[in-house]
Chains A and B, each alone.
Chain A
Amino acid sequence: MSTEATAAAIGDKIRCDACPVMCYIKPGAAGACDRYANHDGQLVRVDPHIVLERTVERGGRLVPFQAGGDWDGKIVQQPDIFVTAIGAGTTYPDYKPAPFIVSSEIDGVDMVTVVTEGIFSYCGVKVKIDTDRYLGPETAAVRAEGETVGHVTTSEYGSQMLSLGGVHHLTGGSKKEGRVTCDTLMDLSNGKPVELTIDGGATVVVQAGKAPIVNGVPEERMRVGCGSATIGMFAKQWHGKVDEVVVVDDHITGVLSEHQAGKLLDIADTGIKMKGRRSTPGRYFQVAEPGTGWGGTKISDPLSVLGPFDRKEARPGLTMLMVSTTGEHSAYYVLDEALRPIEKEMPLDLKLSVERIQENCEPALCTVLFMGGAGGSLRAGVTDNPVRLTRSVKDALTRVTSGGAPVYVWPGGGITFMVDVTQMPAGAFGYVPTPALVAPIEFTMRLADYAALGGHMDYVRPLSSLRDSAEVRQMPYMPGRRA
Chain B
Amino acid sequence: MKRLPQIALLPGGKRLHLQDGPIDLIVEASGSDVREAYEAAAQRFTGLLDELCEELVELRKAADAAQCKLKGVVARRMHAAVAPFAADGFITPMAAVAGSVAEEILGAMLAAPWLDRAYVNNGGDIALHLAYGEQFTVGLMDRPDSHGLMHTMVVSADDPIRGIATSGRHGRSFSLGIADAVTVLAKTASQADAAATIVANAVDLPGHPAIVRLPANELQPDSDLGARLVTREVGALSESEIEQALGAGADCARRLLAAGLIEGAALRLAGETLLVGARRTGSRARHEHPLEVMQV
* Residues in chain A within 8 A of chain B (CB atoms): 4, 13, 18-26, 29, 31-35, 49, 65, 88-91, 93-104, 114-119, 377-378, 380-382, 384, 433-434, 456-459, 464, 467-469
Contact = CB atoms under 8 A, between A and B. Distances in A.
* Interface SS, A side: loop
Contacts of B140: 99-100
Contacts of B141: 91, 99-101, 459
A467 B11 contact: yes
A163 B10 CA distance: 46
Contact of A100 (B19, B139, B233, B286): B139
A457 B148 CA distance: 11
B235 interface: yes
Nearest to B20: A19
A377 B145 contact: yes
Interface of B: 1, 3, 6, 10-12, 15, 17, 19-22, 24, 26, 28, 49-50, 53, 56, 98, 119, 121, 123-126, 128, 136-148, 150, 164, 166-168, 170-173, 180-181, 183, 219-222, 233-236, 266, 268, 284-287
A463 B250 CA distance: 36
22 contacts: A19-B21, A20-B56, A22-B53, A25-B221, A65-B11, A90-B170, A91-B124, A95-B173, A96-B172, A97-B168, A97-B170, A98-B123, A98-B166, A100-B140, A100-B164, A101-B139, A377-B145, A380-B147, A456-B287, A459-B148, A467-B12, A468-B11
Which of A31, A35, A101, A119 has its CB near the most chain B CB atoms (within 10 A)?
A101
Contacts of B173: 95-96
Which of B136, B141, B234 has its CB near the most chain A CB atoms (within 10 A)?
B141
Contacts of B125: 96
Contacts of A29: 219-220
A93 B138 contact: no
In the A-B complex, the 3 residue pairs with the closest CB atoms: A98-B124, A19-B21, A95-B172
Given A97-B181, A377-B145, A381-B147, 8 more contacts: A13-B221, A25-B221, A96-B124, A96-B168, A97-B124, A103-B138, A378-B145, A381-B146
A24 B56 CA distance: 14
A117 B143 CA distance: 9
Contacts of A115: 144
Contacts of B123: 93, 95-96, 98
Which of A89, A91, A382, A459 has its CB near the most chain B CB atoms (within 10 A)?
A459
Nearest to A23: B222
A284 B171 CA distance: 64
Contacts of B164: 100
A113 to B, nearest CB: 11
A433 B19 contact: no
A458 B144 contact: no
Given A31-B22, A33-B22, A433-B236, A380 B171 contact: no
Contacts of B170: 90, 96-97
B53 A118 contact: no
B295 to A, nearest CB: 18
Which of B10, B22, B172 has its CB near the most chain A CB atoms (within 10 A)?
B22
A99 B266 contact: yes
A468 B144 contact: no
Given A19-B22, A33-B22, A467-B11, A99 B166 contact: yes
A381 B50 CA distance: 44
A20 B53 contact: yes
Contacts of A99: 139-142, 166, 181, 183, 266, 268
A103 B286 contact: no
A23 B222 CA distance: 7
Contacts of A117: 144-145
B232 to A, nearest CB: 10
A102 B125 CA distance: 11
B226 to A, nearest CB: 13
A434 B145 CA distance: 15
A117 B146 CA distance: 10
A69 to B, nearest CB: 19
A24 B222 contact: yes
Given A100-B164, A103-B139, A433-B233, A19 B221 contact: no
A455 B122 CA distance: 31
A19 B53 CA distance: 9
Contact of B148 (A98, A381, A464): A381
Contacts of B284: 458
B145 A102 contact: no
A101 B98 CA distance: 16
Contacts of A34: 22, 172
Nearest to B143: A89
A448 to B, nearest CB: 16
Which of B28, B145, B183 has its CB near the most chain A CB atoms (within 10 A)?
B145
